């Protein structure tokens, strides 16, 4: 039966699991340095992921209040807001870097 087959496969495509890392004041505002979350399947880009995270609670909303200044690395490589999440396992969020 095709309806049953669809039901079985649905949980596999409705979300993806990602490890999320936060650094510096993004970490402090979010209140966590690392977590694993189910990401909805319609969240397909870095920018959409920021928007989705900012809706979680007040801490996330504060961390992402100026989403354009938050830098993102997918699997430890910098990615712009329009970059697709693709099959990245990890996304890290942080302020502009101030090393050196």
Q: Is 83 in the site for another protein (CB under 8 A)?
A: no
Q: Is 96 in the site for another protein (CB under 8 A)?
A: yes
Give the dihedral sign, CA 87/56/72/80: positive
Query: How far from 44 is each of 59, 64, 81, 99, CA to CA, in Å?
Result: 23, 18, 10, 30
Q: Which is nearer to another protein, 15 or 71 (CB)?
A: 71
d(CA 35, CA 67): 19
* Rg of the chain (C-alpha set): 15
Minimum Å distance from CB 86 to another protein?
Answer: 18
Selected range binding another protein among 10-18, 37-45, 57-65, 75-83, rule: CB under 8 A: 75-83
Q: Is 48 in the site for another protein (CB under 8 A)?
A: no
CB of 60 closer than 8 Å to CB of 93: no
Q: Which is nearer to another protein, 60 or 93 (CB)?
A: 93
Among 59, 67, 73, 83, binds another protein (CB under 8 A): 73
Count the Cβ atoms, other than its own, within 10 Å of residue 99.
3
Residues lying near another protein in the complex (CB under 8 A) = 21, 23-25, 73, 76-78, 92, 94-100
């Amino acid at each position: 039966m095709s309806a049953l087959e669809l039901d079985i496969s649905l949980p596999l495509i409705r979300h993806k699991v990602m490890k999320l890392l936060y650094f510096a004041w993004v970490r402090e505002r979010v209140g966590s340095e690392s977590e694993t979350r189910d990401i909805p399947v319609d969240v397909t880009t870095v920018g959409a992921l920021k928007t989705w995270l900012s809706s979680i609670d007040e801490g996330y909303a504060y961390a992402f209040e100026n989403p354009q200044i938050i830098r993102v690395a997918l699997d430890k490589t910098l990615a712009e807001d329009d970059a697709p999440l693709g099959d990245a396992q990890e996304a890290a969020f942080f302020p502009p870097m101030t090393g050196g």
